A and B are shown apart, each in its own frame.
Chain A
Amino acid sequence: MIARLTTTIAAVAVAAGAWSFAVSGPAQAAGPAIEYPQHDWSFSGPFGTFDRGALQRGFQVYKNICSGCHALSYVAYRNLEDLGYNEDEIKAIAAQALVVDGPNDDGEMFERSGIPADRFVSPFPNEKAARAANGGAYPPDLSLIVKARPDGANYLRALLVGYVDPPADFNLMPGMNYNAYFSGHQIAMAQPLWGDDVTFEDGTAATIEQQAEDLTTFLAWAAEPEMEERKRAGVMTILFLLVFTGLLYATKRKIWADVH
């Protein structure tokens, strides 16, 4: 019986493997494949968690560099608690934002300072305004960017450090920038990180690579704020299921002992 069970599970596993190989196609299918350098992230693996220092530094980079053009509209100021900020710090961060609210009793929209319950205020009121201010290109909302690209974290980090001189024969369109890792290599976004763009509060040296890594960690959190809780719940669930399934198997053997 164990032999047969093992064959069944083995066959299912082989089939599953074949399938996941077959299924892993779509990610590779998009355009000529560009290899991204694989980085060792604090949040990768089944036990990975977001490095709190990286999260806070990444938030600082986002706030000072990216937020001029890129919205983060699914994240609320209250969510910054996950980064290790306390209530007063969050209130202070939120208060720096100007939120359009209303209409008030006179029917007028008005501006007020932000509170923790507000979502991150977007830099532009709508897509048209964003395009008008950016030479026709639309800076995408970054809330889900890490989930919305294949191998998102490595891609994003590669993109941020990927501004290099174009090959001599490369025909760069006016207003575009060369990026080694962007599909087609022509990107509307000018190089955002140059090194020492911010002074990190914890004294970490703000190299391009450091800022890119921290920003990516922050945006990975923004895309999957539930990740740590999810993995923790997963470990508990699977441990429970292993024990429970073991007991079920023992019970099954006992019940079936008299069948012949």
Chain B
Amino acid sequence: MAANFSNPVVRWIDHRLPVFTFMHHELHEYPTPKNLSYWWNFGSLAGIALVIMIVTGITLAMHYTPHVDHAFDSVERIMRDVNYGWLIRYIHMNGASFFFIVVYIHIFRGLYFGSYKAPREILWMLGVVILLLMMATAFMGYVLPWGQMSFWGATVITNLFSAIPLAGESIVTWLWGGFSVDNATLNRFFSLHFLLPFVIVGVVVLHIVALHRFGSNNPLGIDVKGPKDQIPFHPYYTIKDAFGLGVFLIFFSAFIFFAPNFLGHPDNYIPANPLVTPAHIVPEWYFLPFYAILRAVPDKLGGVLLMFGAIAVLFILPWLDRSPVRSGQFRPIFKIFFWLLVIDVVVLTWLGAKPAEGWYVIGTQIATVWYFLHFLVILPLLSIFETPKPLPKSISEPVLGAGGGFAGATAAPREKV
């Protein structure tokens, strides 16, 4: 059980507090399917992105002032006078976008390879909880610089709660801590923006506990049949994840150093002004698909319910897709619909940035209907009518020609590197 550590100090501590045994068990010898593709890199990348956000965030909080009269100035002070303040802030700013990119890829990987299916339902649901927490955290973080989009984004989104029947208005006043988005709102958003990342850490720990109960899913979507199918996490996946991190950092750095404001909105460099409404209030890009769904319904309450429904439907996904086959590789029809869903979400993202008028509205409504149709109708029907391809006996012994990656590449999963 206990691992053999050569260092006597480590041995002494481990005998009394078995943290080293625990780490050895979960990070070193932890048996992992040997056929994981690069799509499996995005889980660890998401964890690293979270750490980057917390470290830069704590540093920014040392220089930031959460007050309506000083917030904007303090951010500019960070940009101009704090040593490498511009670097820390641009990492944090773009880090939010990259955190979402990584997590969205991670989610779509799970969708394609059926990672939400038994026995990993709770693992999947915890992931959806993390997504919700991330959204709340990102939204409140965007308010802190107190620019025009900060202020008006906060006003629009908090106002959504006024759609709740009877108590709506009171709830909004309660959220604001006053009768408009003001200093009290900014203060509580700062407080919660500082708190929630640590709540995310907590749920991530649960996510990993649930993951390590049955181990990772894999591109074939079949259970591991024995030690032949597995390799220890270290050094195989530590080095593979490290390489993936390197690639990620190259993309990330390109934005931080050469296009730091590309993903932001110019209006947020105008100090918040409650008397001047921007021509178009748009949320950050990672909210656009949900923003599009919100605006697809002419009724406010209906829009809000549908927007939250778009996430809620993910919670019950394990019970909507009843097909016993996990991996999309062996589901010829599912595969087509998966890519249609990807296109649908990209279209929703695009439409979310457009003004709600003319054909954009109709397009948004069609894309929204398709989103829900996919989860609520197509997946349940596919579980009944689709005939999956034959599954390989085991990871080490795949049936002939049944390989293939996420993007339809025909590399055999056991291909030698």
Contact = CB atoms under 8 A, between A and B. Distances in A.
**Are both chains from one complex?**
yes
A199 interface: no
A46 interface: yes
A185 B243 CA distance: 53
Nearest to A225: B80
B194 to A, nearest CB: 26
B338 interface: no
B257 A245 contact: no
A188 to B, nearest CB: 14
Interface string B223-263: 00000000100011001101100110111011011101111
Contacts of A231: 257-258
Contacts of A242: 250
A116 B258 CA distance: 30
Interface string B338-354: 00001000110110111
Contacts of B349: 19, 22-23
Contacts of A173: none
A152 B254 CA distance: 21
A97 to B, nearest CB: 19
B34 interface: yes
Nearest to A147: B269
Interface string B160-178: 0000000000000000000
A257 B416 CA distance: 7
B375 interface: no
Interface string A222-248: 010110001101110110011011001
A226 B260 CA distance: 12
Given A23-B263, A237-B253, A8 B353 contact: no
Interface in B336-390: 342, 346-347, 349-350, 352-355
A152 B407 contact: no
* Interface residues on chain B, size class: 35 or more
A251 to B, nearest CB: 6
Given A3-B411, A29-B353, A234 B253 contact: yes
Given A8-B38, A237-B257, A241-B246, A74 B407 contact: no
Contact of B288 (A8, A22, A230, A245): A22
Interface stretch (A10-18, A102-110, A190-198, A206-214): A10-18
Contacts of B101: 16, 19
B87 A29 contact: no
Contacts of A248: 239, 242-243, 246
A150 B39 CA distance: 35
Nearest to A23: B285
A144 B261 CA distance: 13
B38 A4 contact: yes
A226 B86 contact: yes
A115 to B, nearest CB: 16
B411 A4 contact: yes
B37 interface: yes
A259 B282 contact: no
A235 B250 CA distance: 11
Interface string B395-416: 0000000000111110100111
Interface in B76-122: 76, 79-80, 86-87, 90, 101, 105
Interface in A140-176: 140, 143-144, 147-150, 152
A148 B149 CA distance: 11
Interface in A1-42: 1, 3-5, 7-12, 15-16, 18-27, 29-31
B24 interface: no
A230 B258 CA distance: 8
A242 B249 CA distance: 10
Judged by DSSP, the binding face of A is helix
Contact of A11 (B79, B406, B411): B406
A26 B265 contact: yes
A223 B249 CA distance: 26
B279 interface: yes
A19 B405 contact: no
Given A8-B37, A29-B280, A22 B409 contact: no
A12 B251 CA distance: 11
B26 interface: no
Nearest to B234: A255
A256 B235 CA distance: 9
A259 B350 contact: no
A11 B112 CA distance: 14
Given A16-B101, A23-B288, A46-B258, A74 B80 contact: yes
A67 B31 CA distance: 68
Interface of B: 34, 37-39, 76, 79-80, 86-87, 90, 101, 105, 231, 235-236, 239-240, 242-243, 246-247, 249-251, 253-254, 256-258, 260-263, 265-267, 269-270, 278-280, 282, 285, 288, 342, 346-347, 349-350, 352-355, 405-409, 411, 414-417
Interface of A: 1, 3-5, 7-12, 15-16, 18-27, 29-31, 46, 74, 79, 140, 143-144, 147-150, 152, 223, 225-226, 230-231, 233-235, 237-238, 241-242, 244-245, 248-249, 251-253, 255-257, 259-260
20 contacts: A3-B411, A4-B405, A4-B415, A8-B407, A9-B38, A11-B407, A30-B280, A31-B279, A74-B80, A144-B76, A147-B261, A148-B266, A149-B266, A231-B257, A241-B246, A241-B250, A249-B243, A256-B240, A257-B416, A259-B416
Task: Please give me the 4 A-B residue pairs with the lowest Cβ-Cβ distance, nearest first.
Answer: A234-B257, A25-B353, A245-B246, A22-B350
Given A15-B105, A29-B354, A233-B257, 14 more contacts: A1-B415, A15-B346, A16-B251, A18-B346, A26-B280, A29-B279, A148-B266, A231-B257, A245-B243, A245-B249, A252-B240, A255-B235, A259-B231, A260-B414
